[in-house]
Chains A and B, each alone.
Chain A
Amino acid sequence: MLLLATIAILIGGIIEIFPMVMIESNVPRIESVKPYTPLELAGRDMYIREGCVGCHSQMVRPFRSETERYGEYSKSGEYIYDRPFLWGSKRTGPDLQRVGGKYPDSWHFNHMLEPQSISPGSIMPPYPWMIRDELSLDLLPKKIKALRTLGTPYPEGYEQIAIADAQKQAERVAGRLKKDGIEMDGLEKKEIIAMIAYLQRLGTDIKPKAQATK
């Protein structure tokens, strides 16, 4: 009984999962898809922490109504560095798979601080703590190492310069925000910077930057 039940429930799982994991052609590679930068990774982990996935999908389905609204439909090869995947199952807010480059950095800054000020009537929660709290980068080297173990092609030894890399990118984002008139002490050290870096990266691997701001 116990044995039969075990066999019965194993068959389906094995037949579906094994080919998926073993056979490469099930996930065609896309040359231009690159791993996340350390800062983007930090932003992504923040996206996970805040549960944005409860309201936002990252999966453009191949319908005209969706490609019209969001852009090019999603390909499996775009997700090969996504641990965990963030496709979501509910669109209380719009899909974010192609949001990178859609708005300037300062738009995201103001929107995360108070969505209602940018989109009147929005039901997205405000995230003031991302602007208040400092970003912790301490775990980055460990994260890079773990991801490399799992197969993300970060070069050997990259974890040693990951933090410096993140800081450099953070300064660039903060610079752009300053240009748009957002002044704040220690802006480049805040969590929001990583969040913006991640959001601006989304979907851009296969989307030419120029076309992005229409």
Chain B
Amino acid sequence: MAQVEKFHYDNAIVRNFAYATMIWGLVGMLVGLIIALQLIFPQLNLGIAEVSYGRLRPLHTNAVIFAFVGNGIFTGVYYSLQRLLKARMFSKVLSNFHFWGWQAIIVAAALTLPLGLTSLHEYAELEWPIDLAIALVWIGFGINMFGTILKRRENHLYVAIWFYIATWVTVTVLHVGNNLELPVSAFKSYPVFAGVQDALIQWWYGHNAVAFFLTTPYLGLMYYFLPKAANRPVYSYKLSIIHFWALIFIYIWAGPHHLLYTSLPDWAQSLGTVFSVMLIAPSWGGMLNGLLTLRGAWDRVRQDPILKFMVVAVTAYGMSTFEGPMLSLKSVNAISHFTDWTIGHVHIGALGWNGFLTFGMLYWLIPRLFSTKLYSEKLANTHFWIGTLGIMFYAIPLYWAGWTQSLMWKEFTPDGFLKYGNFLETVTQILPMYAMRVVGGTYIWPEISLWYTIWSRRSAPARSLATKQPKRLHWLARMACTKANTGTAGWKEGLFKCFYLRP
């Protein structure tokens, strides 16, 4: 694709977004870990309003979705858009406005949500002044993107860009639609619609926040970074176009699958189910296109941590988009709704698809952005394995918890009484599974290895061959590095590389 002309592109903005992704990823998931712990030890609420579970939970979802994944999207978009269009971003001012505006919004969210200032709509909790700020920044991003598209030097619009455009349009519509509120004071408002209507609109939004924030932009990123990392063309360009249109058309209808068996009228529930089941086709179209791009490169997948991250990400996408349509069947949803099954489904998508694609992308990008080498492949591989274990420790116990609890809720004695009439019994039963989930929280820590790559470069500017590596380098990292290099070049050379040559 695009010939790399580094000096033309604005890499500073990409670097900034990459930093932000890494910081907020850590913060958002730490909050996730805290609420996971609070679910086992209610004392950890400390009797302090601002850090109690009910207020931190939306902080977690907002931080991971809009701060971690959001900045991840922008990192990838600002990098790939410039290259695909062979043009610098339209406006440096808008880029910076977008970056700082978005971070300011995140900080505002981190301040207001613990204070209990919330409009409650899931994934749109922020109150109306912040909603307005979001709209403004989002429009800035839009102008910047479309401006760049208009002044492009490359005639063809690659499919990744289609996904970016659909994302921008839909998020705009959703954001406005779901935040129609009448303000009462600076931080309190009531939604225009009530009850069932409010619910329908919220889940039209909520489902498509998943679709157009966690899915379509990431498919765009997949279509750019996966072929790049694998050094192969996309398996089928035609398929990517077809599944693009099918996906964005069908996704919008699926919202009511969040409201099955509720008081929503049946016709709406049925529409939701039908379209959700159809969704499997375009979703798997995307997954297969991603995986098949790697045909003939599977030997490299075994070695290259970046490709490993991406393969698991795409597979997790396939899993959650298979599970999703199942959960949309009314008979299955009768079991899964309200239980930890949903939470398991969420985090397969979130940790697997979004998390791992982000990490794969960052491992690929950071060396290029900072003109350095990956500090250590071994470290990245370790990250990959700990992360994968983390996902398993998160998801498997939660599926178990969901099924267990649902069965207990529904079990009757032969005389026709509820077997577990006391709800609490069904809670204490699944606490061990909640504890295992906390173990899965180790998913967070290896992210630090990304920082290491940046830091190791920064701490050693322009070192001459003769000077030794500064003491600051951790011995573990050195060992890992040595080992990683011995495979190809013999251990002496490996040692030499790691201790004397590494930039």
Q: Hey, which bits of chain A sit against chain B, CB under 8 A? A: 1-2, 5-6, 8-13, 15-17, 20-21, 26-27, 45, 48-55, 57, 59, 61-66, 68-69, 74-76, 78-94, 115-116, 119, 121-129, 139, 142-143, 146-147, 149-152
Contacts and interface: CB of A to CB of B under 8 A. Distances in A.
A151 B53 contact: no
A51 B62 CA distance: 14
A108 B395 CA distance: 35
A140 B428 CA distance: 40
Contacts of B412: 64-65, 68
Contacts of B428: 121
A74 B263 contact: yes
Contact of B190 (A27, A50, A59, A150): A150
A119 B424 contact: yes
Given A5-B248, A50-B55, A83-B191, A122 B265 contact: no
B409 A150 contact: no
A125 B58 CA distance: 16
Contacts of A116: 42
Nearest to A65: B410
B173 A27 contact: no
B308 interface: no
Nearest to B268: A16
Contact of A51 (B55, B166, B259, B262): B55
Contacts of A45: 188
A69 B169 CA distance: 44
B256 interface: yes
B264 interface: yes
B61 to A, nearest CB: 9
Contacts of A68: 412, 417-418
B116 interface: yes
- Classify chain B's interface size: 35 or more
23 contacts: A1-B162, A5-B162, A5-B170, A9-B248, A12-B275, A16-B268, A20-B265, A27-B197, A48-B118, A50-B49, A51-B118, A54-B57, A55-B54, A63-B261, A68-B417, A84-B119, A89-B342, A93-B423, A119-B424, A123-B42, A128-B47, A143-B184, A150-B192
B489 interface: no
Contacts of A59: 262-263
Nearest to A66: B409
A108 to B, nearest CB: 16
Given A63-B334, A123-B427, A82 B194 contact: yes
B288 to A, nearest CB: 22
A143 to B, nearest CB: 5
Contacts of A147: 190
A125 B54 contact: yes
B196 A20 contact: yes
A65 B188 CA distance: 37
Interface stretch (B129-137, B198-206, B386-394): B198-206
B198 A82 contact: yes
Given A82-B195, A126-B45, 11 more contacts: A8-B248, A12-B253, A20-B268, A50-B116, A51-B118, A85-B202, A90-B343, A121-B428, A122-B42, A139-B188, A147-B190
Interface of B: 38-40, 42, 45, 47, 49, 52-55, 57-58, 116-122, 146, 157, 162, 165-166, 169-170, 173, 177, 182-185, 188-202, 204, 245, 248-253, 255-256, 258-259, 261-265, 268, 271, 275, 334, 337-339, 342-343, 409-412, 417-418, 421, 423-424, 427-428, 431
A49 B55 CA distance: 8
B177 A13 contact: yes
Contacts of A88: 338
A57 B338 contact: yes
Pick the 5 closest A-B CB pairs, nearest first: A51-B54, A79-B195, A12-B252, A49-B116, A76-B263
B169 A9 contact: yes
B46 to A, nearest CB: 9
Contacts of A86: 120
Given A50-B116, A125-B38, A9 B185 contact: no
A52 B169 CA distance: 33
B249 A121 contact: no
Given A9-B173, A53-B120, A119-B424, A76 B194 contact: no
Nearest to A124: B42
A92 B427 contact: yes
B170 A9 contact: yes
A83 B194 CA distance: 5
